[in-house]
Chain A
Amino acid sequence: MMQHLIVLPVVLPLLTGLFLLRSLRGRTRLKRVLGVTSTGLLTLVAVALLMRAADGEIAYYALGGWQPPFGIVLVLDRLSALMVLLTAVLALGCVIFACGGDDEKGSNFHGLFQLQLMGINGAFLTGDLFNLFVFFEVLLLASYALLLHGGGKSRIQAAVHYVVLNLAGSALFLIAVGTLYGATGTLNMADMAVRLGQLPAERAGLVTAGALMLLVVFGLKSAILPLYFWLPRAYAAAPAPVAALFAIMTKVGIYAILRVYSLVFGEQAGDLAGLEQPWVWWLSLATLAIATAGVLAARDLRLLIAYLVLVSVGTLLAGVGMGSVEATASLLYYLLHTTLVTGGLFLLAEMIGLQRGKAGTRIVKGKPLTQGGLLALLFLAGAVAVAGLPPLSGAIGKALLLNAATPDQQPWLWPLLLASGLAAMIALSRAGSTFFWRSQSGERHGERLPRHHWAGVGLLLATSPLLVALAGPVSDYTRATADQLARPDAVVDALLHDAGDAP
């Protein structure tokens, strides 16, 4: 059983998703129980995988018994285990929140949600470049449908842009994969790393072209500067639980950048090693600057949070661009914090919007909120965490990142990162005081919020103090993960030179 555990994060949501896509009209309760149970089980599986990966073992699962490099493999190491667990926890919060009524605004919410989880988990676990493309498509196709859940003009408008851009991105992904296959003759990432070491000089140009095209594709998914324009509108238009789950989607792009460029284009690649570094570093700083302006300019809370997602993308990619083990370790800690907290804020924005009636989440004076006190407290906690103020986890994440910058990187990173925190603080305090203090006239007539909403938001925002309390073990783990990423030959050894525990 233990050896099949690696494939469960893909198979479990697939089976649940397929079952839920059957016509279950009117059986809301069954759908909700199944969706939550499956996500809960996924969390347990992810914890088990994390325990297994924590001692540094690199395990793989050869699908169909075809050994690498010929078959498709799922690879479990510290990074993929961490990402799968993060997805599961975020998804648990989202799906519990959705049970408060959002799932019944359209059809098939829970089924599509599980399929999306399958795509995300698959992308985190796969060790094959083409398989990565396939899982990207699975998660994108589910996300297209989820983005449209509930309908409405703004969603369709945002979805048209999102779908067309991502289809173009997929075409580019295929071209890049094709180029790399043509130059190296393999699609297995570990095998490709080995072959790049022995690459004939005349093919170096082809590989560089392929690698940089891949960077464009991953940049589109993770929303780096010239490719981020789809993000704010899509995230602001998506239904709340979907927007919260989308918080992990940009991280899929960041994960892909980390994985591909540390494993395939690591030290053994010679001249081609680290060829993404300068691009990622400068573009991420520019993303950070633009996103900071966006945070200040946003006039709607959901748009504001979408720009905060963009700030976190810039911050994380700056960590990738720094290219040291310390930077990777601290960016992974920051990634855990920012994904869960921005996800929780999207859910919270929906709750605030529901109680304000017509004014919605626009940052204008409106009717007072029925449950204003509790919402304000949660909003304060979320704002403190996301802006990076002590005592919550954002402060630790940012401090780690600032600390990891080398002296010649500091003049660029420090002012931008600190200014983005200041901008977030200004924008969020303006939004909060408008929502909770300036909106005092008029009657309260918002309905009381279902307890599912409170549970979902509570779960996601409670992870922030938890990350502070467990900062020691968590940062030890991310440190070990970064060490493992810096030694790609361990993966190569485990995959290509061992018999492994294939079924």
Chain B
Amino acid sequence: MESLYAITTGVLSACGLYLMLRGRTFPVVVGLTLLSYAVNLFLFSMGGLTTDGATIIDGVRDYADPLPQALVLTAIVIGFAMTAFAVILSMRARGDMGNDHVDGRKHEEREESHR
């Protein structure tokens, strides 16, 4: 289970990172979302992966660490708000700038200004 979990987290963060480095705002926002999924998964695993642990401590010895769950919940809420903001911001940038490049300039224009 550990290796599957690690591979999933790794692939998600690699994809997120790649998309985040793209030049247009849509892939960047998707990349940020993927990265935040990967981070949430990672946070889950930080208390150690256990199966069949009790969720509520009731005299049992084998229980799941409750703290990562609380942290992930907080991280999800914050990540949601941030994603919403990033989406609105890129829409506004698209509207005001006339294109969806993160620098606000079209690729062709930039080529010309370099010449």
Q: Given the complex of chains A and B, what is the CA–CA distance between A134 and B82 in angstroms?
A: 12
Q: Which of B45, B81, B103 contacts A157 (CB 8 A)?
A: B103
- Chain A residues lying within 8 Å of B38, measured Cβ to Cβ, are 171
A174 touches B92 (CB 8 A): no
A182 touches B46 (CB 8 A): yes
Shortest A327–chain B CB gap in Å is: 35
B82 touches A181 (CB 8 A): no
Shortest A367–chain B CB gap in Å is: 29
Interface stretch (choices B28-36, B53-61, B106-114): B28-36
- Chain B residues lying within 8 Å of A171, measured Cβ to Cβ, are 32, 35-36, 38-39
Interface string of B62-90 (1 = CB under 8 A from A): 00000110010011001001100110011
Q: Which of A134, A175, A182 contacts B48 (CB 8 A)?
A: A182
CB within 8 Å for A182 and B47 given contacts A134-B74, A164-B32:
yes
B96 within 8 A of A: yes
A160 touches B43 (CB 8 A): no
Nearest A residue to B86 by beta-carbon distance?
Answer: A163
Query: Which chain A residues numbered 110 to 164 have a C-beta less than 8 Å away from chain B?
Result: 130, 134, 137, 141, 144, 148, 151, 153, 156-157, 159-161, 163-164
- Chain A residues lying within 8 Å of B39, measured Cβ to Cβ, are 171, 174-175, 178
Q: Which of A157, A174, A178 contacts B93 (CB 8 A)?
A: A157
- Chain B residues lying within 8 Å of A161, measured Cβ to Cβ, are 102
- Chain B residues lying within 8 Å of A148, measured Cβ to Cβ, are 89
Nearest B residue to A70 by beta-carbon distance?
Answer: B67
Q: Which of B25, B35, B104 contacts A168 (CB 8 A)?
A: B35
CB within 8 Å for A160 and B32 given contacts A174-B39, A174-B43, A175-B39:
no
- Chain B residues lying within 8 Å of A182, measured Cβ to Cβ, are 45-48
Q: Given the complex of chains A and B, what is the CA–CA distance between A153 and B94 in angstroms?
A: 11
Shortest A69–chain B CB gap in Å is: 11
B93 touches A164 (CB 8 A): no
Q: Which of B46, B81, B104 contacts A160 (CB 8 A)?
A: B104
A168 touches B20 (CB 8 A): yes
CB within 8 Å for A157 and B20 given contacts A141-B82, A141-B85:
no
B85 touches A174 (CB 8 A): no
**What are 27 A-B residue pairs whose CB atoms fall within 8 Å in the complex?**
A130-B71, A141-B82, A141-B85, A148-B89, A153-B104, A156-B89, A156-B92, A156-B93, A157-B104, A163-B85, A163-B86, A164-B86, A164-B102, A167-B36, A167-B82, A168-B20, A168-B32, A168-B35, A171-B36, A171-B38, A174-B39, A178-B46, A178-B71, A181-B46, A181-B71, A182-B46, A182-B48
Instruction: Identify the 8 closest CB pairs spanning chains A and B, nearest first.
Output: A182-B46, A178-B46, A157-B104, A174-B39, A178-B43, A171-B39, A171-B35, A137-B78
